[in-house]
Structure 1
Amino acid sequence: MGITKLEKGQFLHKAGQGKVESVEVVIKGSIQISNAYSSINCNVGGFIGIVENPGDPYAYNYEALEETSVYSYPFNSPDDLPKIIKSNPKIAPILAAQSSEIAAKTCAVYEKQYDDALQEYEQIMADYADYPSLCIKVGEIAKSFPELDELIPPEKSEKIPNWVIDFSNSLKENEAVLKKTFYGLNIEFATGMIMTTYTIYKTISDQVLLLNEYRKVLKKKTSSFTSTIKAIKLKLADMERSENEGTEGSVTIVNALNTILVYSGVSGEIATKFEEQISAFKSNNNRYDSSDEARALRRNISTSFYEVFIPAFLRSLTDENIPIEVKMFFMFGFVDEELAGAKNTSILHNMAKAYVPDENGNVLTVYEWLKKIFMLEVEPSKNEFDQDWPSYLREQRSTGAISQDQLEAMQNNPQKRLDFEIHNLFALGNRMTFGRISSFVPVFDEQNVLRPLDMAYQTAAKVNGYYDMIRSIDYGVFCRQALYSNTEIGIPQVYYDDDITPYMILMPNVGSRASLWQEIEGKNRRTKARMLVSIFNTENTEETMIKLFGEFRWEMCKTEQGVHWNDVTDPSLTSMYCDYLQFYKKNSALSTENKEKLRTDLKKFSNNYKNVFIADYLSYIKFESAGSPRLNKVTREILFTFCPFAKAVREKNADNPQYKELFNHYSVRINNAAKPILNIIAKLNKDGIDVPEELTNQIEHLKK
């Protein structure tokens, strides 16, 4: 032990090398203390190695920043530190001042280390959230990175409260005064200050090492994703550069219409007709005007489109290598690169190339939906006269259009089912979701792109996100009441709520509307609803979806109530709402302003009660749930009674006086509903009988 002299750049100790047996005091020059992520400088009077653990390898690097001298002392435990200080009474104030400075520097390092670690985590999660949409832009199929779902953000240690950091910073700010008037008064003051600050930066040093370890693990776990996202971003940058420089880039589609027509195998007459129609359409700058010629051309294109679509679809069922132009035709109605525009063609190409089906099977392109119809996986949808497939066949039989033998042959004939679906849900739904019915044309046209395609594009992830959003507010929106019975274990009958996620069918157009095609399949109330939305939605999609779910609420209630849907003696969402709107003028609970607003709303929606409800439902979900009142007292009570908020929303609005009484009544109602089920579960547990899943699910549902 004694004096050690160091040249500039020379290491006193290196991380991971040598055992900690001494602690040094800088008596000349300065030393940089560093690890992989941070560093601080220690000047004359500073302790070196004080945060290390005696007997362990060094955790930090100690490098001379200039010609430096240090004095070494044996270091077996922190108890050695007071002895070292008291053996140097003359320089004790300098040691104390430097110790308080190091404490402040260590606090700053900890704050920066935490901020950097949090920023790294947030950047990775932001990239992870953007990854699917970036893959779509560059035309790559998104890979799965389940390890990223397990990541958690760094946490600030409870061992370092804010007062510690404030105290250390205050010592640094008042260093000159303390050094002159306090540290020199008594050796015990200096010793106490050094040991206090030692405890602070020893604790912080340990937490910094934990943050370092967190960052190392984070880097290791995300290395595969980081490499992937970096490559995706480079590819996207190259594409944008090519676009800005006016070069073609990597996507080249030429004469797409010919490829589609050849693939479909339609007759030369149909092919020539469709080519001429598309040529005339794209050469007309006023192709959406209301002239007879323009309207006739749009109608003819619609007819020819489906004549080409059907044979192309049938061929694709046995083709594992469908041309990308044909995929774009099926997904987006794309037929011509000039009509779509070069930029849009490139985007559509990449979207089709990157498309991945919904793993839950709830969100489907129209191509995937028609495939399910053809494969007899689902029944064809209702037609414009509200007839399902069996009803339509029976009606055809009763009018003599087909015989009984033909009816039986057609019932499960894939081709007949496909034709029915294409001429009803596809053709009519495509027109409805487009929004401007009189201007509808089923082919992709650049003139209809009113919003960036990547923003308008509805993916399975986006739609499932809207399902999650509505459930987080109106948790019972997709629930149907079902009956469970098992007399063998003593359960005669128990009603429970069955949550059934609807189908969302993505129509191949750039449109502004969504539509509820049917709320159930046939007569079975426990089947999925069928909803339609444009694959490129040009409106506020969140509001569009909320309105769609509101429409489902209304129609599902009508279906469940049957002929009593507007009978106020059988209380339901529709009956109570109809009664409220029909007799609002006599309702004493409504103010004059409320009544005037209702009169205006009814006039605005042409006395259509459903549309008034949908507008109120939008306000209820979007504003009332956030604590911003938009509805009158009567509307609020009806909506909350039949569309109650989820638990998290109720808790957030617990102090809202407009809802407090409603929440209290609801809690009583839920407890009363849960009590008999809990009694059954308790009895089954007592008898050692497995509790049916329906009962446990219902209790979990009621907890929401």
Structure 2
Amino acid sequence: MPETRNLKQGEILFIQGGNPDRIYMLQDGEIEILSAPAEFAGLDKNIIIDKSARVFSLKGKSMLLGFSGLLASPYTRSARAVTASQVVEYPLPQGGFRGIAGREMNTSINMLRQLFNNFMNAQAHMKKTVSAYVRLCQVDDNMALAHSSLAKGSGPDPVVKKSDDLRTLFNMNRGTIPSIITVDFLLEDRSAQFRKSYTEKIAMDSLVPEYADLAKRVLKLDPQIIATMLKADSDIALSLFTAITRGFDRMLDNTSAIMEKFEQKIKTFFDGPGSWAEYFTAMDGLKDWSSRGGLASDFQSGLARLMQRLEAMALEVSGKGFGRFDGYNKLLNMLAGRGERSVAAANEPAEAEGDFAGAPSVISTGLQKSIFQIFEFAMVEKEFQNRLLKMLNDFKMSKNPFGTESDERKMRRFITQMYWDLYKQVFVRSKIESTTPRAAKLMLNYGFLDDTMLTPEQIAELNDLARMRERQPEFPVYSEYEFLSMIYNGDEEPSITEMGLAYDAFLREQEKYQKKNKGEENTEDPNSPMSKTLHEISQRLASTAAVCSGGTATAFPILTAELVKGSFKNLYQNKHAVSEIIKKLRDIDFSVFYRETVLRLDSAREVIEEEVVPYFVLLPIYGTKTLLWQEISGNNKRSLGRIMIPVFFAGELEKSLMHTLACYRWELNRSMKGAMWADPIEGGISGEYFDYVNTFKKNSRLSPEMKEQISLRFKSLRTNRDRFAADYMLWVEFEREGIMKLNNVVREMFFKHIPFKKETREILENMPAYSKYAGRYKNVQAREIAAFERKFKKYQNDAGEYPAEIEKFFEYLKI
């Protein structure tokens, strides 16, 4: 009989060299597959695990197959729980898979499908591992190239030799180095100029592609057809299982070899006297680099973010971060501990991005017992204080405060509810009192509450952030407190609720509810500025904070050292930096913020398109996601949408915002088109894409292989909006450079509705895959401009000039 087994994090399920006696089916959680060199087989399991590296992992419901021939030979890998996991164990019949294939046809078919699915997932993981290794190689070589320009001849011997050799090759191939080096310089692929291929000596073969394709096609057949085949020749099942397992095993060997190279490359960054970390920290390498004035002012903070991105990439493929190397920790501390101006102080004016200089890393900040300062300012009742203090104490004493068990989740939910109640009261008091204590300001802007929940260094950093001078952003980027103040001052209406209700509609629903419950009437004026603002905190802020934190199950709005690892300064998103990312994305997709509006010219009314940029609100939380909350307010076509960004963001903000802008495009088009949004002719981009999703299987322009790829991809994306966003990201990130990632149907659709700027279109026009669409776009654009010129000719003055709004519209049409 099957048995359910709950694995704790880190618990071993089976060990390399052990003999299988069970079939394991993962129900929930994540299991990593580990590989150790063959010479450690038969030794103590702790030694085997210590010498192992991750080569693959399984998540969700999946069968652990492919690690033991026909389930009759010793395991070639080990399996360990990455998270708390649940596994169902089935007794293994005598003879392993051979015994199952002879007696249980349906079970053997299911096992073959599960095995092949593991093979495909492991193949994807190997490719991801290769990409991670290549990225490290690129950064390493580019740092050496930068070194040859900024500090030639200085540093450790390995660094000097490598930088000189690469510079020689680079010059021979007519490479040029920019006068100002940014962090983006470190990410570019210069393998052609270096005359090298980062993947040249990496083995990628496993299963012959034709055989893999055959196995895939066979296993996709109806189970009854497969059963008929296996009954006719029982050795087919054994042959398939053996071939896939051998290919799988060969692929995991290749991944293991790649992981060894990956580990060695990491050491060139962080381990030993010849590493980059040693050069930058012990030998003041960044001072050498900055002394000639060739570094961008934000290089130091950008380098810190790059190192953290590389670590996240390493964690994903290997399960190990860089924190095990002292060099990495020293480097991050050095990059975080100095101000932005330490690198370029001799060459940059004092108005740089923000001023972190001044105080040492650990100082007396005046934030001791901060929670009591906040209680006192908010004037909350003693009973409320005691309840929150007790809950926070339970949280601090918990062994796993961010666990997913019901008790931990219930505790966090109660604290979160009380926290937002306290946040409301602090906001109210900030509008009444003439001065607001520093602790309360940090709460309103960053999610700070209790100084004992953060390290002294983190508190000092928050203190620095509070004093930081912000540049005026080009786009409407606001802190949460500033945005709430706009609602309080009557400059903006409250956001829609989670159910999509505008404030007026919400009040009508409340009125209906109060009529049924007469004793619960609210005596406060619902249209008062404070009522509207408190509604905004309850409905929009609390909801978006939970979603943007990364997951509602583990969401927590209060800053804690347990939640936020590392430096706040490296995670902090200032307004100018966010605005620059928006500008970059808008420069690629120039029409993203344009919408139809009605222009009033005296008694005349004309429909044109105007750019209406949404609000970007910096939520006072630590998070990993950006979110479109609303694309428009009510029926006002000139109203600004609302996009949420955690003020402390972990991850690639540009990619996250790219996805969010795709959602913005989708929802805005739906709002503008109304009931016709899904019409393939009148519905614009949403209508055409909706039609494509529903009819791609019948589309003669798509090959059978492409249809199958689309079908598989759509299965992993729940909604049409998510599918559109995934394609949009490929369009913006790759297709603008002529790197084809989309099929021809979507490419034509996007070229029509999401065009690039003229200079980009002209480059793409010379490529066969785009020339037809570019020519068609050019013809449509010319006809459209001519039609509007005829239509708006009556508004020209004697000098032939149009009103400013129409002039701007024509400029947009000609982009």
Shorter-chain TM band? 0.5 to 0.7
1:126 to 274, 278, 296: 296
The CA distance in 2 between the partners of 1:227 and 1:620, in whole Å, is 39
> What's 2:535 paired with?
420
> What's 1:335 paired with?
449
> What's 1:378 paired with?
492
> What's 1:543 paired with?
655
> Is 1:661 the counterpart of 2:775 in the alignment?
no
Distance 1:121 1:409, change over 3 A: same
2:592 to 477, 482, 498: 477
Kindly report which structure 2 residues correspond to 1:354-503, keeping only aligned pairs within 5 A, or say none.
354=468, 356=470, 358=472, 362-399=476-513, 400=515, 410-450=525-565, 452-486=567-601, 494-503=606-615
Distance 1:407 1:232, change over 3 A: closer
- SS of 1:605's partner is coil
Who wins on radius of gyration, i.e. which is larger? 1
Deviation at 1:348, TM superposition (A): 1.4
Distance 1:540 1:696, change over 3 A: same
Contact 2:336-2:570 within 8 A present in 1 as well: no
Matched to 1:126, the amino acid is A
Matched to 1:664, the amino acid is G
2:431 to 297, 314, 317: 317
> What's 1:637 paired with?
748
- SS of 2:435's partner is coil
The CA distance in 2 between the partners of 1:250 and 1:654, in whole Å, is 62
Distance 1:402 1:420, change over 3 A: farther
The CA distance in 2 between the partners of 1:514 and 1:231, in whole Å, is 23
The CA distance in 2 between the partners of 1:319 and 1:356, in whole Å, is 24
> What's 2:156 paired with?
none
The CA distance in 2 between the partners of 1:394 and 1:587, in whole Å, is 47
Q: Deviations over 1:574-614 (max 9, x none)?
A: 111111111111101111221111111111113x2111111
Deviation at 1:137, TM superposition (A): 7.3
Deviation at 1:452, TM superposition (A): 4.2
The CA distance in 1 between the partners of 2:655 and 2:758, in whole Å, is 22
The CA distance in 2 between the partners of 1:140 and 1:407, in whole Å, is 50
Distance 1:231 1:538, change over 3 A: closer
1:597 to 695, 706, 709: 709
Structure 2, unaligned runs of 5 or more: 1-177, 181-288, 305-334
The CA distance in 2 between the partners of 1:664 and 1:122, in whole Å, is 48
- SS of 1:287's partner is coil
Distance 1:375 1:463, change over 3 A: same
Q: Deviations over 1:48-85 (max 9, x none)?
A: xxxxxxxxxxxxxxxxxxxxxxxxxxxxxxxxxxxxxx
> What's 1:285 paired with?
399
Contact 1:521-1:528 within 8 A present in 2 as well: yes
Matched to 2:296, the amino acid is A
2:414 to 300, 305, 311: 300
- SS of 2:765's partner is coil
1:568 to 655, 677, 680: 680
The CA distance in 2 between the partners of 1:645 and 1:678, in whole Å, is 23
> Is 1:619 the counterpart of 2:789 in the alignment?
no
> What's 2:622 paired with?
510
More moved, 252-261 vs 504-513: 252-261
Contact 1:137-1:351 within 8 A present in 2 as well: no
TM-score by length of 2: 0.56
Contact 1:677-1:695 within 8 A present in 2 as well: no
The CA distance in 1 between the partners of 2:517 and 2:403, in whole Å, is 41
- SS of 1:436's partner is coil
Contact 2:353-2:470 within 8 A present in 1 as well: no
Distance 1:517 1:632, change over 3 A: same
1:346 to 438, 449, 460: 460
Distance 1:132 1:375, change over 3 A: farther
Deviation at 1:272, TM superposition (A): 1.7
More moved, 378-387 vs 409-418: 409-418
The CA distance in 1 between the partners of 2:487 and 2:354, in whole Å, is 39
Over 6 Å off, 4+ runs: 119-122, 128-134, 136-142, 227-233, 406-409, 680-683
- SS of 1:439's partner is coil
CA RMSD of aligned residues (A): 3.6
> What's 1:532 paired with?
644
Contact 2:795-2:803 within 8 A present in 1 as well: no
The CA distance in 2 between the partners of 1:498 and 1:229, in whole Å, is 33
Matched to 1:326, the amino acid is A
TM-score by length of 1: 0.64
The CA distance in 2 between the partners of 1:382 and 1:434, in whole Å, is 20
> Is 1:266 the counterpart of 2:380 in the alignment?
yes
Deviation at 1:485, TM superposition (A): 4.7
Q: Deviations over 1:104-153 (max 9, x none)?
A: xxxxxxxxxx989xx9999388237879999x9799999xxxxxxxxxxx
The CA distance in 2 between the partners of 1:266 and 1:512, in whole Å, is 32
> What's 2:633 paired with?
521
Matched to 1:643, the amino acid is I
Q: Deviations over 1:292-346 (max 9, x none)?
A: 3212211111111022111211111244532221111111211122212222211
Distance 1:619 1:291, change over 3 A: same
Matched to 2:678, the amino acid is N
Distance 1:407 1:337, change over 3 A: closer
Deviation at 1:510, TM superposition (A): 1.1
Distance 1:598 1:250, change over 3 A: same
The CA distance in 1 between the partners of 2:488 and 2:640, in whole Å, is 18
Distance 1:685 1:562, change over 3 A: closer
1:256 to 360, 370, 380: 370
Contact 1:373-1:379 within 8 A present in 2 as well: yes
Contact 2:680-2:688 within 8 A present in 1 as well: yes
Identity across aligned pairs (percent)? Answer: 23
- SS of 2:557's partner is coil
Q: Deviations over 1:495-547 (max 9, x none)?
A: 32211111111111111111111110111121100111211111211110000
> What's 1:165 paired with?
none
Deviation at 1:367, TM superposition (A): 1.5
Q: Deviations over 1:403-440 (max 9, x none)?
A: 9xx99984521222122111110111110111121111
Distance 1:301 1:115, change over 3 A: closer
Matched to 1:307, the amino acid is D
Distance 1:325 1:627, change over 3 A: same
> What's 1:105 paired with?
none
Matched to 1:670, the amino acid is Q
Deviation at 1:396, TM superposition (A): 2.7
